[in-house]
Amino acid sequence: MLPALPEKKMVFKGLVTNKEDMNKLMLTPLIRYPLLGGSALVVFEKAEVAQRIVEMKEHTVELSNGEELEELDRCRVRVQAAPVDVLLPSVLEIGLTRSSRSIIVSDLPSLGIPEEALLDKLELFFSKTKNGGGEVESREFLDDSGQVVLTFAQDGVAEPLIARGHIQVLLGKGKYDLKISPHVSGDIANLQLQPSRCPRTVLLSGIPDVLGEEPMRDTLEIHFQKASRGGGEVETLAYVPLGRQAVAVFTEDAG
């Protein structure tokens, strides 16, 4: 069962470089992977090392790698190694709807005033018929975009403004050339996911709470960097002690 996808406002800021790319949407994966206490994620520089560690399944880790741990001489713990599988979109279909009453206003200047004050000024300007506007029903900033969505109470106001493309707006003591664009909303019509294995990442589990967080992290990294233990160069290691939880974030370049 797939969880319901939360509604998310998105702003396209890319450039279409050729006609063949006009119907393509590039997705950048951002996967959140829950980590339970007593586990660790290890990212190796080479995929073959990760595969070798997974095939060995169980690993015996010495806890006496540093001077401060001399009292634990000959103490060992067993940890289990497993691959990391995540779900990635294989098919995504989005139905787009262009609003007949809304516009996007962009190229806004930095006036050093609160957002609400800027929204008030925009509403005052676009509510006047002499400026080509009409009664504004709602106004809001798009998340982290610096752009504003204005929705008019009546049809027939937005389209002429969009056709103009740009408009001179008096804001404070200056006039600014603002860009007017159509407001398009989208609904996911079809989403299919497929499992994908992280080739350079290994999940370690069953790690007991016998050392502090930093000493245990260092001990694990030392162990899995040793070629004699089947390991290799470790790019990064994240350890979560028992009794705690964390979330690992995988991006497109992650292992």
> What total of structural domains would you count in the chain?
2
Q: What are the structure tokens assigned to 37, written together? A: 């206490």
Q: What are the structure tokens assigned to 201, written together? A: 């990442």
On whether residue 110 sits in a domain, the answer given is yes
Torsion angle of the four alpha carbons 235, 241, 247, 250, in this order, in degrees rounded to the nearest 10: 10
Counting runs of H as helices and runs of E as strands, what totals does the chain give? 4, 10
C-beta separation of 57 from 230 below 8 A: no
DSSP 87-136: EEEEEEEEEEEEEEEEEEEE-----SS-HHHHHHHHHHHHT-GGGT---E
Map tokens 């299919």 to a residue: 192
pTM metric for this prediction? 0.57
- Specify whether 105 is located in the same domain as 168: yes
Mean of all residue pLDDT scores within the chain: 85
- Specify whether 226 is located in the same domain as 149: no
On whether residue 22 sits in a domain, the answer given is no
On whether residue 243 sits in a domain, the answer given is yes
Does the pLDDT of residue 82 top 50, yes or no?
yes
Q: Model confidence at 27, in pLDDT bands (50, 70, 90)?
A: low
Q: Model confidence at 255, in pLDDT bands (50, 70, 90)?
A: low
Beta strands in 21-75 (DSSP E): 30-35, 39-44, 58-62
- Specify whether 112 is located in the same domain as 237: no
83: containing domain: 30-90+192-251
- Specify whether 197 is located in the same domain as 158: no
Helices (H), 127-227: 158-164, 213-225
- Specify whether 104 is located in the same domain as 168: yes
- Specify whether 49 is located in the same domain as 171: no
Which residues, at least 6 apart from 55, have a Cβ–Cβ distance to it below 8 Å? none
pLDDT of residue 5: 45
C-beta separation of 157 from 144 below 8 A: no
- Specify whether 137 is located in the same domain as 178: yes
Q: Model confidence at 4, in pLDDT bands (50, 70, 90)?
A: very low
- Specify whether 224 is located in the same domain as 111: no
On whether residue 13 sits in a domain, the answer given is no
- Specify whether 60 is located in the same domain as 145: no
Last residue of a domain, one of 141, 171, 189: 189
